[in-house]
Amino acid sequence: MNENELFQAALGLLPPWQVDRCTFDKATGRLDIHLDFPRGSFFACPVCGVPCKAHDTSERTWRHLNFFQHQAFLHARTPRVECSQCGVHVVAVPWARSGSGFTLLFEALVMMMAKAMPVIAVGRIVNEHDTLIWRIVTHYVDAARAKADHSTVTQVGVDETASRRGQKYVSLFVDLDERKVLFATPGKDAATVAAFAADLQAHGGNPEAVTEVSADMSKAFSKGIAASLPNAKVTFDKFHVVRLVNDAVDEVRRLEQKTNPELAKSRYVWLKNPENLTEGQWEKFDALDIVNSHLKTARAYQIRLTFQDLFNQPADKAKAYLDKWYFWATHSRLPPIIKVAKTIRKHQDGILRWFISGINNGILEGINSLVQAAKAKARGYRSDRNLATIIYLIVGKLDLSPLPT
């Protein structure tokens, strides 16, 4: 086997394609593999498949996988055929998709790396500008999403994630059965739900078939769900609800801190459940002597723990339990607690719906933490569209199958 035959085998080339010659430039560390086909070869017409002779050719170059540490390139004159039925067409080459300056194997490597590291780092490793890497990633994610089938979706979770430090948001819609992101879109208003419903339809789904939705208590989502997912019953995500009560506890603490400065460093103690406290936090707890204390914060904390316990009640006792809790909370003389209790009262149907639907955004929280990790790694993702692309790649469970593996 000579070196041409060796490369031919390594590239998996099939006739009429063959390696014509290879050149290695020591100074630049660059390998150039020139491919060709014998005079008189036939190529299938890309439209009807009938074998045709090459009509003319044009010279093309593709970046390929590195040869050890050296950059490697394929060169070939790509033929056009003149089919008697279909006219003149460029023949597809088996090692690259049309329009790309990279081989399929190179793109497969890029996609594999993009799942594990920031696009900018992929660019650095393969020595290409990150906009080119984004182009590859976007192409395959878009192509895979175009084929995605959402026809069985009935239970959806919606949540938002901050897209840049602070202000901007991307809303995520998740299939709670399949545990995958169906749709990611900038914004967190009612229009994002309408956009989701349209996207669901575009993927063979039916907005009227969505019967259960888990969401936070934001008015925007509620409004959007009522308008765009008409048969959906909303379950207010219990993590969000508990977090609201937690925020109220923290507000009580901040107010009380003015007269009880020893509370200043205890913020995180009150946010936790007793079973999750660290040794050090227990010491803070002990120092505050909360069991015997008359601290308002301690009272608020007890009210929060009791609220949380709602979700441990049997379904038929839940409503009565919540009523009792509401009475206690509204008589606590702690304004932030009274306020949050009223909010909960107003949303109690959606909160109690959990006892029927059993759904929550726990899956979303899990996905969200993957998204956070992706964001932390994806420094410089340049746009919300790129962020959505990475979210689909990592938590969309897409079928990228045309890529070689």
Element (H, E) at 246: helix 238-257
In whole angstroms, how close is the CB of 54 to Zn ion at the nearest point?
14
- Spell out the residues 6+ positions from residue 329 whose beta carbon is closer than 8 angstroms to its own: 303, 307, 337, 338, 340, 341
In whole angstroms, how close is the CB of 86 to Zn ion at the nearest point?
3
Q: What is the dihedral of CA 215, 216, 220, 224, to 10 degrees?
A: 10
Whether 203 and 148 have beta carbons less than 8 Å apart is answered as yes
Whether 183 and 196 have beta carbons less than 8 Å apart is answered as yes
Q: Select 47 or 227, whichever has its Cβ closest to Zn ion.
A: 47
In whole angstroms, how close is the CB of 79 to Zn ion at the nearest point?
14
Which range binds Zn ion by CB under 5 A, 86-94, 124-132, 213-221, 382-390? 86-94
**Residues between 365 and 384 that touch Zn ion (CB under 5 A):** none
CA distance 141 to 390: 8
In whole angstroms, how close is the CB of 49 to Zn ion at the nearest point?
7
CA nearest to 34, candidates 71, 72, 68: 72
Q: Select 46 or 187, whichever has its Cβ closest to Zn ion.
A: 46
Binding of Zn ion by 92 (CB under 5 A): no
Q: What b/e string do you get for 12-34 counting C-beta neighbours within 10 Å, with b at 16 or more? A: ebeeebbbeeeeeeeeeeebbbb
**Residues between 27 and 66 that touch Zn ion (CB under 5 A):** 45, 47-48
Which range binds Zn ion by CB under 5 A, 81-89, 134-142, 339-347, 359-367? 81-89
Q: State the pairing for strand pair 42-44/30-36.
A: unpaired
CA distance 65 to 109: 8
Q: Select 82 or 256, whichever has its Cβ closest to Zn ion.
A: 82
Whether 175 and 153 have beta carbons less than 8 Å apart is answered as yes
Q: Select 45 or 359, whichever has its Cβ closest to Zn ion.
A: 45
CA distance 359 to 156: 9
Q: Select 81 or 391, whichever has its Cβ closest to Zn ion.
A: 81
Q: Select 45 or 229, whichever has its Cβ closest to Zn ion.
A: 45
**Residues between 224 and 283 that touch Zn ion (CB under 5 A):** none
| Tokens representing residue 14 in the block | 């099939």
Q: Select 82 or 178, whichever has its Cβ closest to Zn ion.
A: 82
In DSSP notation, 257-290 reads HTT-GGGGGGHHHHHS-GGG--HHHHHHHHHHTT
Which amino acid is it at 241?
V
Binding of Zn ion by 329 (CB under 5 A): no
Which amino acid is it at 262?
E
Whether 181 and 367 have beta carbons less than 8 Å apart is answered as yes
In whole angstroms, how close is the CB of 46 to Zn ion at the nearest point?
8
In whole angstroms, how close is the CB of 104 to Zn ion at the nearest point?
24
In whole angstroms, how close is the CB of 97 to Zn ion at the nearest point?
20
In whole angstroms, how close is the CB of 143 to Zn ion at the nearest point?
25
Q: Select 48 or 287, whichever has its Cβ closest to Zn ion.
A: 48
In whole angstroms, how close is the CB of 44 to Zn ion at the nearest point?
8
Q: Select 45 or 318, whichever has its Cβ closest to Zn ion.
A: 45
Binding of Zn ion by 83 (CB under 5 A): yes
Q: Select 6 or 48, whichever has its Cβ closest to Zn ion.
A: 48
In whole angstroms, how close is the CB of 37 to Zn ion at the nearest point?
19
Look at phi and psi of residue 40 and say left if phi exceeds 0, alpha if psi is from -120 to 50, else beta.
left
In whole angstroms, how close is the CB of 83 to Zn ion at the nearest point?
3
Q: Select 48 or 202, whichever has its Cβ closest to Zn ion.
A: 48
The residue from 86, 112, 194, 209 that contacts Zn ion (CB under 5 A) is 86
CA distance 303 to 235: 22
Binding of Zn ion by 91 (CB under 5 A): no
Q: State the pairing for strand pair 212-215/155-162.
A: parallel
**Residues between 279 and 318 that touch Zn ion (CB under 5 A):** none
Q: Where are the beta strands (DSSP E) in 176-261?
A: 180-186, 212-215, 233-236
Whether 183 and 395 have beta carbons less than 8 Å apart is answered as no
Which range binds Zn ion by CB under 5 A, 85-93, 109-117, 173-181, 353-361? 85-93
The residue from 2, 28, 85, 401 that contacts Zn ion (CB under 5 A) is 85
List residues near Zn ion by CB under 5 A: 45, 47-48, 83, 85-86
